[in-house]
Amino acid sequence: MPCEEVTYMKQRLELKVNGQTYEVLVDPWQSLADVLREELGFTGVKVSCNSGNCGSCTVLLDGKAVKSCIMFAPLAKGKEILTIEGLATESGLHPLQEAFIEHFAVQCGYCTPGMILMAKALLDENLDATEDEIREGLVGNLCRCTGYVKIVEAIMAAKEKMKVTSSH
C-alpha cells in the first residue's frame, strides 16, 4: 500500500543545456527527459516508451549518447547536455540534419531527434563507420515508420560530408 503523504525536498539543480546554464528545482526522482521537457521546454526530447528501450529521448552528455528517460536529472549535473534544439549552429544545420532532410529519413518525426543525436555520437567517435557499424550503433534507437533504409542512407551521406569538413 503506498503511503498517502510523501515528504521530500525539491533539489536545486544547475544544468548546462546547449551551451547555456539553467537553474531548476527538481524532484529527486525526476528523469532528465522530464526536466528537459517539462521544466525547461526542450520538447525536442521525445519520450515514447519511458523505459529506455526505444531511444527517442536520446541526448548527448559530454558527447556520449544517453537515454534521458531512465536517467535521474541530478546525474547530469556538471555535464554538457546537447539536445536536438542545440545541434544547428549560426552557420546552419548540422550535416546530419541536412542529410535527414535530403534523404527523406524523416516520417512522423518522433524518433528523429534521438536518432540524429545517436548518429552524431557514433560518427564523432568513428567517422569511418561502415553500414554494418552504423546499424549496430542504432540498434537501441527504434523507428516505426521508415524501415531504417533512408535513415542509414542519410547517416552514410552525412558521414562523407563530415569527413570533408573535418579534414579542412
Partner 1 sequence: MAGHSVVGKSIIRLDALDKVTGKAKYCEDLKLPGMLYGKVLRSPYPHAHITSIDTSRAENISGVRAVITGRDVPEKRYGPSVFDQHTLARRVVRYVGDPVAAVAADSVEVAERALGLLKVEYEKLPAIFDIEEAWEKNPPVIVHRDLPKYELGKFPPLRLVPDRPNVCHLRMLRHGDVERGFKEADLIVENKFTTTRIQHCPFEPHGSIAQAESDGSLTIWAGRQSIFLARQYLCKLFDLLPSQVRVIASHYIGGGFGSKVTLYTEPIGVMLSMKTGRPVKLTFSREEMFSSGGTRIPFVIRIRDGVKKDGTLVARDMEMLLGMGAYAGSGPLITRNCIYGAVATYRIPNAKIDAYAVYTNEPPVTSFRGFGSSQVLWAIESQMDVIAEELGLDAVELRRKNLLEEGDTNITGEIVHSIGIRECLDKVAESLEGSPKSKMEGGPWRRGKGLALGNKYSMAPTAAVAIVKVKGDGTIEVHESADEIGQGCHTVLAQIAAEEFGVSVDEVKMVWGDTAFTPYFSRGSTSQRTTFNVGNAIRLACQDAKRQIFEIAAEKVHAQIQDMDIKDGAIYVRSDPSQRISVTELFTSERALSPGEFGDYVEPSAEILGKGVWVTRPAPSDPETAQIPENVARMGGRLAGFFGYGVQGVEVLVNIETGEVKVEKVVAASDVGYPLNPKMCEQQIEGGVAMGIGSALWEEVALDKGKVVNPNFGNYKIVTSINMPKIENVKVFLVSAPHKEGPYGAKGTGETQMTPTAPAVANAIYNAVGVRIKDLPITRERVFRVLREKAGG
User: Can you tell me the distance from the alpha carbon of 45 to that of 24, in angstroms, rounded to the nearest whole number?
Assistant: 17
Grid coordinates standing for 115? 536518432
Nearer to partner 1, 11 or 107 (CB): 107
Does 135 engage in binding with partner 1 (CB under 8 A)? Answer: yes
113 in Cβ contact with 60 (< 8 Å): no
Name the residue with cell 544547428. Answer: 88
Runs of H (alpha helix) within the chain: 32-34, 95-102, 112-125, 131-137, 149-167
Nearer to partner 1, 78 or 130 (CB): 130
User: Can you tell me the distance from the alpha carbon of 114 to that of 87, in angstroms, rounded to the nearest whole number?
Assistant: 12
- Closest distance between partner 1 and the C-beta of residue 55, in Å? 9
**Segment contacting partner 1 (CB under 8 A): 38-46, 60-68, 72-80, 158-166?**
38-46
Does 53 engage in binding with partner 1 (CB under 8 A)? Answer: yes
User: Can you tell me the distance from the alpha carbon of 50 to that of 48, in angstroms, rounded to the nearest whole number?
Assistant: 6
Binding mask 80-119 for partner 1 (x = CB under 8 A): ---xxx-xx----x--xx--xxx-x-xxxxxxxx--x---
Nearer to partner 1, 16 or 107 (CB): 107
Does 25 engage in binding with partner 1 (CB under 8 A)? Answer: no
Name the residue with cell 541526448. Answer: 59
* CA atoms within a 13 Å half-sphere pointing along the CA-CB vector of 24: 24
Q: Which chain residues interact with partner 1 by CB under 8 A?
A: 1-2, 4-6, 27, 37, 42-51, 53-54, 56, 83-85, 87-88, 93, 96-97, 100-102, 104, 106-113, 116, 131-132, 134-136, 138-139, 141-153, 156
